[in-house]
Structure 1
Amino acid sequence: MASECCLRGFQWDGTPIGKESTLANNKAYVVGSNADVAIMVIPDLFGWTFVNERLLSDYYAKEVNATVYMPDFFGGVVMPTEIVRDYSRFGELDLDKFHKDNSKEVRWPELLACVQALRSQYKCIGIIGYCYGGWSNFRLGSKEYSPRLVECISTAHPTWLTKEEIDNIGVPVQILAPEVDPAFTPELKAYANAYFPGVEHAFATRGNPDDGVEKRAMIRGKNAQVAWMKEWLHG
């Protein structure tokens, strides 16, 4: 379940350069122009309009040389980003309703349809998922699909991920796990991978650029994801 840690953080400065379009039946932020290689970004609770994740999508499009899609998987509901700057407003959110409206069962058909739409157009597909996107990119990389849906996945501070979903992975997987994260527990971290010391849940999408430790972790994280996508989508 999402908690306070899934909403804390900082909103970054910058102007995204992509455009708004559609993927399957979902609105999507799109950036890049590679006709063969695509990356689908599955955003955290702040959704497809959040400037931080649009800026990250711009970065992946340029550095990986890919067309990047970040669809809306929350039915048009957008978390107010003012909460990132003014966390005292956390109590205004009805997270129980958000969980119900965006459960795995509710959103899985849209996630699958979007990747199938990409599969019909691109030769190589990678998935990057943050928070909520953690469980979903594991599902999309499941070994139950033959031929496989995607070439590789990468996730940062995943939420709702289970051991069963980890066990069922059928493609190369990268996990960027923070040291402090009630959503991705020490037990799951030990089960899955090593972690980034000294940082907390959401460091990859809402870290503080004025904090030296967080800034280094953000840079390491996005560069690691770029290298991972280059290896499996262009290698």
Structure 2
Amino acid sequence: MSSCPWTNKKEEGKETACVECISGTIHAGLPQGTIEPLYGLNTYIVGNRTNPRAIIVIYSDVFSHNLPNNKLIADSYAKSGEYLVYMPDFFEGDPLGLNLADVLIPTDAAKQSVLSKYGGLLAGMPGYLMWISRHGKDKTHKACVDWLQKLRRSDEVKGKKIGMVGMCWGGRFVFRAARSSESIQLADGKKVPLIDAGVALHPSNVVLPEDVEGLTVPVSVGWGEVDIVTPFKQKGQIEEIMKKRAEAGDPPPEMEHKVYTPGRHGFSVRGNPEDPAERKALEDSVTQVLDWFEKRL
């Protein structure tokens, strides 16, 4: 059975996700969760609230809750009934506007004309740069770490592990949350990492070696061969950093690297379900997450 949560068919009697201004770029489907305030951030919540085996936290791409695809991905992680899935709005009510979705990551790049591509970039760039200025590394890192600390210290997590998934913008913060420098001390005096395992899919803005120094929990990474935003060469750079760490007598945590072909940027979130290769990437990236957590949470 396919693990892909997206369909292009409208469910009878149900309203499917649709935004006309970027028609054709959003996957159809009705999200099953709810948005509720949690630890200071509006959070999309779906899954087993009674007795989950573990908790999965999603740090989405820049479109956050505005993009239905992100909610459908959370639903796919929760489908088995094993996990409680949280997707906080780490942009604190200020995600990037959906009007830029097709400009930055078109669903069907082959059909995007040069005029529409560069015309869209010119029109959208001022707004994009203003948004970037409001979400610098320090601010976004603090929002993420503060929320994870509250989750880790909460009663609901006692005896349960936390997995974190980050796509695009959020991928970098999986690495950062997995570092030993972010470990915290609990009320009982025990020092623990913020998360127990992570998955970073086409992570953007990664700074090496800074973002992977002191990794302390297992991390799986998904790379796209033709990703023009996330340099594919970073895969080899991270592998070399971990190799040198091991040679220095400091064994790194387990790491996995999966390569997607063709792997356009955003392949796990905004791939075209009507394109066989891109649909496979959508499905396989969900499987990558669930397989990794099945063994480590």
> Do residues 151 (structure 1) and 184 (structure 2) align?
no
Report the alpha carbon displacement of residue 217 of structure 1 after superposing the two structures with TM.
1.3
Which residue of structure 1 aligns with residue 170 of structure 2?
Answer: 133
On the 8 A contact 1:63/1:226 being kept in 2, the answer is: no
Which residue of structure 2 aligns with residue 73 of structure 1?
Answer: 90
Alignment of 1:184-203 (within 5 A): 184-192=230-238, 193-203=257-267
1:194 and 1:20, CA in 2 relative to 1: closer, same or farther beyond 3 A? closer
Return 5+ residue gaps in structure 2 as ranges.
1-21, 107-115, 184-190, 239-256
On the 8 A contact 1:178/1:195 being kept in 2, the answer is: yes
On the 8 A contact 2:65/2:71 being kept in 1, the answer is: yes
Of 223, 230, 235, 1:177 maps to 223
1:162 and 1:83, CA in 2 relative to 1: closer, same or farther beyond 3 A? closer
1:224 and 1:84, CA in 2 relative to 1: closer, same or farther beyond 3 A? same
On the 8 A contact 2:224/2:232 being kept in 1, the answer is: no
- Give the distance between the partners of 2:102 and 2:225, measured in 1 at CA: 23
Q: After superposition, give the CA deviation of every residue in 1:129-157 in whole Å (9 maximum; x if it has no partner).
A: 01111111111111222411111000110
On the 8 A contact 2:47/2:83 being kept in 1, the answer is: yes
1:16 and 1:188, CA in 2 relative to 1: closer, same or farther beyond 3 A? same
SS at match of 1:126: strand
Structure-2-length-normalised TM-score: 0.71
Which residue of structure 2 aligns with residue 29 of structure 1?
Answer: 44
Report the alpha carbon displacement of residue 194 of structure 1 after superposing the two structures with TM.
4.8
Higher alpha-carbon Rg: 2
SS at match of 1:21: strand
On the 8 A contact 1:141/1:169 being kept in 2, the answer is: yes
Paired letter, 1:190: G
Of 109, 114, 122, 2:147 maps to 114
Which residue of structure 2 aligns with residue 225 of structure 1?
Answer: 289
- Give the distance between the partners of 2:180 and 2:172, measured in 1 at CA: 14
Report the alpha carbon displacement of residue 82 of structure 1 after superposing the two structures with TM.
4.5
> Do residues 161 (structure 1) and 206 (structure 2) align?
yes
Paired letter, 1:98: W
SS at match of 1:79: coil
Structure-1-length-normalised TM-score: 0.88
Deviates more, 1:13-22 or 1:106-115: 106-115
- Identity, in percent, stands at 27
> Do residues 47 (structure 1) and 92 (structure 2) align?
no
Return 5+ residue gaps in structure 1 as ranges.
1-6
1:224 and 1:153, CA in 2 relative to 1: closer, same or farther beyond 3 A? same
Paired letter, 2:174: N
SS at match of 1:20: strand
Q: Which has the higher contact order (CA 8 A, sep 6+)?
A: 1
- Give the distance between the partners of 1:64 and 1:150, measured in 2 at CA: 21
Report the alpha carbon displacement of residue 198 of structure 1 after superposing the two structures with TM.
1.3
Report the alpha carbon displacement of residue 49 of structure 1 after superposing the two structures with TM.
2.9
On the 8 A contact 2:223/2:232 being kept in 1, the answer is: no
1:65 and 1:142, CA in 2 relative to 1: closer, same or farther beyond 3 A? same
Report the alpha carbon displacement of residue 63 of structure 1 after superposing the two structures with TM.
3.0
> Do residues 19 (structure 1) and 28 (structure 2) align?
no
On the 8 A contact 1:11/1:85 being kept in 2, the answer is: no
Report the alpha carbon displacement of residue 22 of structure 1 after superposing the two structures with TM.
1.7
Q: Work out the number of aligned pairs and report it.
A: 226
SS at match of 1:206: coil
- Give the distance between the partners of 1:159 and 1:208, measured in 2 at CA: 20
Report the alpha carbon displacement of residue 160 of structure 1 after superposing the two structures with TM.
1.2
